[in-house]
Amino acid sequence: MTFNEINSAMEFPALSQGLIPATGANDYTNRFQAWHHQFVASALAVKIGKSLRKDIQIGCMQIYAPLYAFDCNPENQFASQFKQRAFDYFTSDVQVRGYYPTYINQLLKQYDADMPIMEKGDKALLKENVVDYIGFSYYMSMAINETSSEETDPAAGNLMEGVRNPFLEASEWGWQIDPLGLRISLNELWDRYQVPLFIVENGLGAKDTIDENGQINDDYRIDYLAKHIQAMADAVDDGVDLMGYTPWGCIDLVAASTAEMSKRYGFIYVDLNDEGNGTLDRKKKKSFEWYKKVIASNGNSVTSK
């Protein structure tokens, strides 16, 4: 995969482009220009990779989050469609299809940006060197409300702007938990592109505690992953070509989104706090042995009826 979560620059360009306000992040012209450089670099990587090995598979990698209209109001329907094009589809449209989508003009207008400057041969390079598959991270879905209804609350999650979906529970950090949304996402991506898909990140950030017996019983993480793995299996039954799944992540580490150690994702606990204090000792959580069984059974221990 050529760039990790390449579309994240729509919301936080420091993560995937290295742009901060001091280097022009607040000007969307710079973000779209940086994307163009990334698209060209990705195409060059595909070209070089294919010249070295004919059997190699090279993919893109993005965040994917289904964006639901909060209600049947056509304004919200359109707003969710626009947001989904901007966040979920723009980068993959270029990397999978090999050209800028026709809605690029509306994106540039919305974000007050200029069309990226392109060198001679860039368009041909993009067209001739598309990726073979789509890798993506999936953590949540979002609801979009543009009608300023007083009945909706802003979502507490720090990934994208949106409102709280009353039909979903949320993590301790406000990320809305939506296993069915993963099945929806897989079907949407497959229907749009007809290329294999690879879920390369999926997990629950949570505060884990060690009990009086020295155990970490993270049943909430097991429940989250089990439901998402079942949704993945259901999508395969729908006809989706899914080439792989890897959770985020194997071991606790500092969360990129909040710079906290206490937002833990791993199957292995690391003794370290948000201030950087601790022994760094490792300890298996309950989810560790559970996921070993998932791997050994190719998911059947979760999805068998």
Known catalytic residues are 201
State the burial class of residue 120 (Cβ atoms within 10 Å of its Cβ: 0-12, 13-18, 19+): exposed
> Tell me, what amino acid is at 164?
R
Report yes or no: 36 and 108 within 8 Å, Cβ to Cβ.
Answer: no
d(CA 144, CA 180): 18
- Give the SS3 label for residue 163: strand
H-helix or E-strand spanning residue 128:
helix 122-128
142: part of which helix (H) or strand (E)? strand 142-144
Quote the CA–CA distance of 87 and 70 in Å, as a whole number: 17
- The answer to whether the CB of 191 falls within 8 A of the CB of 251 is no
Distance between CA 171 and CA 117 in Å, rounded? 41
